[in-house]
Structure 1
Amino acid sequence: MSDRRTLWGVGCGVIAGALWGLVFLTPELAAGFTPLQLSAGRYLAYGLIAAVLIAPRWNRVRTLIDMKGWRALIRLSLLGNILYYICLAQAVQSGGVAMTTLIIGLLPVSVAVLGRHDHGSVPLRRLALPLALGVAGIACTVWGSIGGTSGSLFGIVCAFGALIAWTLYAVDNSRWLSRLDTISSQDWSLLTGLVTGALALVLAMPAFLLSPGIHSGVQWWGFAGLMAAVALLCSVIGNAFWNRASRLLPMTLVGQMILFETLFALLYGFLWEGRWPYLSEVVAMGLLCASVLTCAAAHRPRTPQASA
């Protein structure tokens, strides 16, 4: 039973990673639209879907959140959704899918470092090897992506902005979930989507009215369909599979599952561009995988024999 539970949990983690990887390809599929429009469109759709799903339980759920909780949801929505996706979309459009994916792929290590004082964390010295491998991987990514163009440099800065935003979100969100014992993780996720949708309404005015761009009716309908598909597949279904994997697997293994998002995003990017990875990207992928795996290994509890 334990083996079946582990296999099912890994399978859910793989599916979540495959769906989340689509997020990195979306800016290329909607290249004519700005990162602000992509963020507003995606999270308007996510907010509508979250509202429909949480509506039957709304009267009960809203009484479980106090004012501090609502302020936390606003902060988490800004960091983990709005700001993160604006930076990600701009990074992809300026520097490409591969560069953006490799830099953001350092998330498991950056989250471990920022949350090193939380329960279950490990001393920073045990993260020295994962950090060194991660820095080396990023160095290969930057070296292979700059190419002397200002667009690539701007894309790299935006990718690091996305990495920082989601790292802050992941640690803060985890801390809030540990404090909450009256609301399920699924309802907390839907509430985050609801608040994100409300923030996207504010974002929609400068995104669509002040700089609408020149698009045909067909392009606008295609954009709407793409945003709805991303919201449903990545934000709703992807999160559901991730929550299932989190319940079936130990935390050390769950952390490694994030790697599948990176690998699938790279696969989609190479297929979209119709090419094989460059040597610098192959080396960066290897270093990134080693960084995440050694970070997970550092979090494994040490037995007396292993310590000896």
Structure 2
Amino acid sequence: MVRPAPLDPIILSNTATLAGCAALALWAFLAPLARMAQPLPPLLLTALGFAAGGLLGLGVVAARGRLGALRQGPVAWAHGVGGLAGFHALYFAALALAPPVEANLLNYTWPLLIVLLSAPLRGLPLGPRRLLGVALGAAGAALLLAGGAHFPAEALAGFACAIGAAMTWALYSVLSGRLASVPTEAVAGFCLASAALAFAAHLGLEAPAMPGPRQWLAVLLLGLGPMGAAFFLWDIGMKRGDPRLLGTLGYATPVASTLLLVALGEGALSWQVLAATALVAGGGVLAARA
């Protein structure tokens, strides 16, 4: 029998990086779908989104006969649940304790942190072209998100939570490469555990609510996309792709999300949006050519 030739590692890496890009594209739909789910409380929406994504993922894992992939050690569970649930908990705390514009701006330091942490934690070189690319992306996100931003001292706890959320997501993402032996199918279990934690927080902190037909549709779409498939694709991208490029391209998410909202009639196409799009695109091109 002739054995098939092994796939080129460069091709595998490029394919995994494309999977990470698909996750970034799906996250652009998070804001429109969250608006569609209003007025559900945010923690309940998080719990339902994680549950939908986890259950759909679990169905795929079961169909492939890979349920054994959910049996992982405590380090893998701490990394997976801590990254998914920890990020969302800190992000929602930031929105509750600080002005949303400023909190979102600080939260979107996570793409820059992914690029910078790729050197010490993954041993990947950066170089001036990559650093310039991520700087352009950061400038584009700041231009888009920072209109009228100010940082009052009384919101310091919220700002700390926003930075903590960014650091949590960056560490979760970059350290995924150090846990490459943990199969991507395990993400289904991490999503379900995160759903349980978010639902417990909802019961303790929010008034009970019952989704209507429109909210249930939004939850299903969240589970299919930005709170389901996106986490699996991001895991593939971070474990086997180029985290430096994916970090730089992460700044395309808020721009694409804003463009979607504009297309849905919930915003205007301003010069800031166009300039941010150009900066993020230029930064992505620089990083890709590096």
**TM-score normalised by the chain length of structure 1:** 0.66
Q: 2:185 aligns with which of 185, 190, 201?
A: 190
Contact 1:74 1:196 in 2 (8 A): no
Contact 1:38 1:86 in 2 (8 A): no
Instruction: Give the Cα separation in 2 of the matches to 1:29 and 1:290.
Output: 32
Instruction: Give the Cα separation in 2 of the matches to 1:154 and 1:284.
Output: 29
Percent identity between matched residues is 19
Amino acid at match of 2:78: I
Q: Point out where structure 1 has 5 or more consecutive residues left out of the alignment.
A: 301-308
Instruction: Give the Cα separation in 1 of the matches to 2:117 and 2:243.
Output: 16
Contact 1:39 1:82 in 2 (8 A): no
Task: Please list, as runs of the form range in 1=range in 2, the aligned pairs for 1:253-264 lying within 5 A after superposition.
Answer: 258=250, 261-264=253-256
Instruction: Give the Cα separation in 2 of the matches to 1:189 and 1:11.
Output: 16
Q: 1:25 aligns with which of 28, 32, 39?
A: 32
Amino acid at match of 2:263: L
Q: Point out where structure 2 has 5 or more consecutive residues left out of the alignment.
A: 1-7
Contact 1:141 1:284 in 2 (8 A): yes
Instruction: Give the Cα separation in 2 of the matches to 1:143 and 1:252.
Output: 24
Residue 274 of structure 1: aligned partner: 266
Residue 116 of structure 1: aligned partner: 119
Deviation, 1:229, is 1.9
Residue 80 of structure 2: aligned partner: 76
What RMSD in Å do the two structures reach over aligned CA positions?
A: 4.5
Instruction: Give the Cα separation in 2 of the matches to 1:62 and 1:40.
Output: 20
Task: Please list, as runs of the form range in 1=range in 2, the aligned pairs for 1:189-208 lying within 5 A after superposition.
Answer: 189-208=184-203
Residue 226 of structure 1: aligned partner: 218
Pick the structure with more helix per residue: 1
Instruction: Give the Cα separation in 1 of the matches to 2:95 and 2:34.
Output: 7
Instruction: Give the Cα separation in 1 of the matches to 2:246 and 2:273.
Output: 25
Q: 2:176 aligns with which of 173, 181, 184?
A: 173
Residue 279 of structure 2: aligned partner: 287
Contact 2:118 2:174 in 1 (8 A): yes
Change over 3 Å in CA distance of 1:77–1:293 after alignment to 2: farther
**2:40 aligned counterpart, secondary structure:** coil
Instruction: Give the Cα separation in 1 of the matches to 2:36 and 2:94.
Output: 14
Deviation, 1:198, is 2.1
Task: Please list, as runs of the form range in 1=range in 2, the aligned pairs for 1:1-308 lying within 5 A after superposition.
Answer: 16-55=23-62, 57-58=65-66, 60-61=68-69, 65=72, 67=73, 70-79=74-83, 81-86=84-89, 95=100, 100=104, 107-119=110-122, 121-123=124-126, 128-130=131-133, 132-134=135-137, 136-137=139-140, 139-141=142-144, 143-146=146-149, 160-177=163-180, 180=181, 188-208=183-203, 211-213=206-208, 215=209, 219-238=211-230, 258=250, 261-297=253-289, 300=290
**TM-score normalised by the chain length of structure 2:** 0.69
Contact 2:114 2:170 in 1 (8 A): yes
Contact 1:137 1:283 in 2 (8 A): yes
**2:120 aligned counterpart, secondary structure:** coil
Name the count of aligned residue pairs: 276
Residue 3 of structure 2: aligned partner: none
Contact 1:104 1:162 in 2 (8 A): yes
Contact 2:115 2:248 in 1 (8 A): no
Change over 3 Å in CA distance of 1:238–1:86 after alignment to 2: same
Contact 1:24 1:265 in 2 (8 A): yes
Change over 3 Å in CA distance of 1:112–1:13 after alignment to 2: closer
Instruction: Give the Cα separation in 2 of the matches to 1:293 and 1:126.
Output: 10
Change over 3 Å in CA distance of 1:171–1:129 after alignment to 2: same
